[in-house]
Chain A
Amino acid sequence: MRIQKQNVFIVAVAFLVVSLTIYAENMKTAALSPKWEKIKAVQIQLMPQSIAMPNGGSMKTVSVQGAVQNGKVYFRVSWKDATKNQTHTGDKFADGAGLMFPTTKSALTSPFMGDANNPVLIWQWRADWQNPDAMKKEIAEAYPAYADWYPPHEKPFFEKLGRHPEKGKAGVYLAKGFGTLTLQPVTSVDVIGVYDEAKKMYTVVFSRSLTSQDEKVQFKAGGTVDFNIALWDGSQKERGARKSVSMSWQQVKLGK
């Protein structure tokens, strides 16, 4: 039997859809897995960022867990947030979470965005990056396109969001001190954020292969990871330097 080109296409599309679904399910399953209950969580007190201007930050505590499974590292970040803010517009800012790792030794590295000799690696999740469809809808409603002609070289609506990582991926940055945060062309970190409306609770899971050629930070099962954490509460218009931070290096053990 001859295989029709059309059939190949359908099979390919079907496979792509299924694999994307499995992938999304995996990350969501990873975020909500009951196995996390057996892994010790580090409770961290947060402070408003008050060193670089502008200051800010309203979140008080966050819980962080680390785990390793099938060659991948998982970090699970959970915190209470009374409101779900998933868009970034002229008036609104989105909720977010960031993990920061030293690329050299934590003892040598400033916990405040690193320094010239000791850069830090940062993984960021933002609710608006995860929900581009919600963003698109809100922006279309808030800023209707009223011109009847646009320059033809303009890319289609919303595709110019240069700072947004791919859906399902964390923003990966390097920083060498305040104001130096620079997005890296790295797509190795998967991330998902789940908001529990009943508990008013965010759960965000970051995941990456234990080792990575793209990043200077490597992990190993049973090891201890030094990190710092930041949270942004969109309802308080927190963004950028207006964030709640752990002031010193924290440690989490990578359980199995």
Chain B
Amino acid sequence: MANVYNWQLGRDMEYPYEPAVPAKQIAWVFDTNKCIACQTCTIACKTTWTSGRGQEFMWWNNVESRPYGGWPLGWDVRLLNKLGAQEWENHSGVMKYEGKTIFEAAQGTGEAALGWKPESDDWSSPNLGEDECSSTVKEGDYITIPHMPWMFYLARICNHCSYPSCLASCPRKSIYKRKEDGIVLIDQGRCHGYQECVKNCPYKRPMFRPTTGMSEKCIACFPRVEQNLVTRCVENCIGKIRVQGWISPHDKPVEDNPIDYLVHIKKVAVPLYPQFGLQPNVYYIPPKHVPVSFLNQMFGPGAENAVKTYSVAKEDPNIIGLLMLFGATDRIIERFKVTAQEAIGYTEKGEELVRVPITEPAVVRPFHDEKAGTYRLSIT
């Protein structure tokens, strides 16, 4: 076991391998407040990567509903249950995780990490329980568990973690994290289908393909990323909830890097289950309407402040500008600038990629179309 620093926990932790920090680390920010679960991302991924035989039940990208949905069934609550209640503590305003990560919880058990392996049935329903939370908010209701007339959609891909549990758990050393971009891949030339990665990835992103006898997972569309293109799920998101880029080390944030600004500087985007200890690289802007206790469990102690910052985003032109840049181009935005009227995305070298207005101009057309000699159904 090596000692590695996990900035999301505010402390060192035990990990089976020495840290190997990539030259760049791929990262995403997903705004849960904008997701409508249209599953366009899911289908974009499916048609690109998993349309083959034996991949019928495989969704490298999925969108599930919360609090009751989830795929595979109960992927997070079953692990939370195994891990047990854990504590965060406030050290002079810095939250430090005092509990055990899944690596630390497994010490002495002969396992690389605490985990559980879903059965086939657990993979068979993409979002079982998605309608359980549908009810009407009555006058006088207040939002609290267990009476919860609230829900939100959680879009998920592989987190391409800084300390991947799949990689740590593979006895074949079939899984590697790329030096150039931090993308985590399963080497299909070495995988023997033992499914230790399936068992120990807390996010349940590696999936077994029975027709090849090997496991597969989200590959972050690496052939696209190598050409500075965003992943298919990001490109096709019609709600424009996603932005993709590179995250800097937590202590060296770059102010005009979109991911750094949202994650490190404004802290409006927070990791998914940081307490597991993998330092995941998909960051979420948490839903505004969900009880804080639930958000703290799912996104760590930074969730409450993230919601507060997001709720007053209009006071920060940079956040508003960045939100406008979400989904605005199929190229990876590495730098950004916000003016009074526009948000502009650039490459790292300063090449302009996209320019969008902060406020969409409202155009009202005459009700009667003189040229066509007819009345318009829509005039805005």
Contacts and interface: CB of A to CB of B under 8 A. Distances in A.
A145 B194 CA distance: 23
A161 B52 contact: no
Contacts of A178: 171
A34 interface: no
Nearest to B196: A54
A53 B112 contact: yes
Contact of B111 (A53, A144, A158): A53
A210 to B, nearest CB: 30
A212 interface: no
| Dominant secondary structure at the A interface | loop
A53 B171 contact: yes
Interface stretch (B31-39, B185-193, B317-325): B185-193
A88 interface: yes
Contacts of B169: 53-54
A162 B16 contact: no
Contacts of A162: 188-189, 212-214
B51 A147 contact: yes
Interface in A209-256: 239-241
B213 A164 contact: yes
Interface in A139-183: 139, 142-147, 150-151, 154, 157-158, 160-164, 178-182
A171 to B, nearest CB: 10
Interface size class of B (residues with CB under 8 A): 20 to 34
Given A54-B112, A157-B211, A163 B192 contact: yes
Nearest to B211: A158
A13 B119 CA distance: 43
B52 A56 contact: no
B53 interface: yes
A55 interface: yes
A63 B173 CA distance: 31
B54 interface: yes
A150 B111 contact: no
B68 interface: no
A150 B53 contact: yes
Contacts of B208: 89-90
A50 interface: yes
B210 interface: yes
Nearest to B193: A88
B132 interface: no
Contacts of B110: 50, 53-56
B123 interface: yes
Contact of A146 (B56, B172, B189, B193): B56
Contacts of B194: 239-241
Nearest to A164: B213
A52 interface: yes
A139 B210 contact: yes
Contacts of A55: 110-111
Interface string B193-206: 11110000000000
B120 interface: yes
B214 A163 contact: yes
A179 B212 contact: no
Which of A50, A161, A162: most chain B Cβ within 10 A? Answer: A162
B360 to A, nearest CB: 40
Contact of B195 (A56, A90, A154, A179): A90
A254 to B, nearest CB: 31
A151 B210 contact: no
Which of A90, A91, A162: most chain B Cβ within 10 A? Answer: A90
Contacts of A163: 191-193, 213-214
Contact of A181 (B53, B172, B211, B212): B172
A88 B195 CA distance: 11
Interface string A13-45: 000000000000000000000000000000000
Contacts of B212: 160-162
B173 A161 contact: no
Nearest to A182: B190
Which of B54, B112, B214: most chain A Cβ within 10 A? Answer: B54
Contacts of A56: 110
Given A56-B110, A90-B195, A240-B196, A143 B57 contact: yes
Contact of A142 (B120, B171, B172): B120
Interface in B52-96: 52-54, 56-57
Contacts of A181: 172
A162 to B, nearest CB: 7
Contacts of B52: 150-151, 154
A118 B110 CA distance: 26
A89 B172 contact: no
A180 B187 CA distance: 13
A158 B173 CA distance: 24
24 contacts: A53-B112, A53-B169, A54-B110, A55-B111, A88-B213, A89-B208, A90-B195, A91-B119, A139-B54, A144-B56, A145-B53, A145-B56, A150-B51, A150-B52, A151-B52, A154-B52, A154-B53, A157-B53, A157-B211, A161-B212, A162-B213, A163-B191, A179-B170, A240-B196
Interface of A: 50, 52-56, 88-91, 139, 142-147, 150-151, 154, 157-158, 160-164, 178-182, 239-241
Interface of B: 16, 51-54, 56-57, 110-112, 119-120, 123, 169-173, 188-196, 208, 210-214
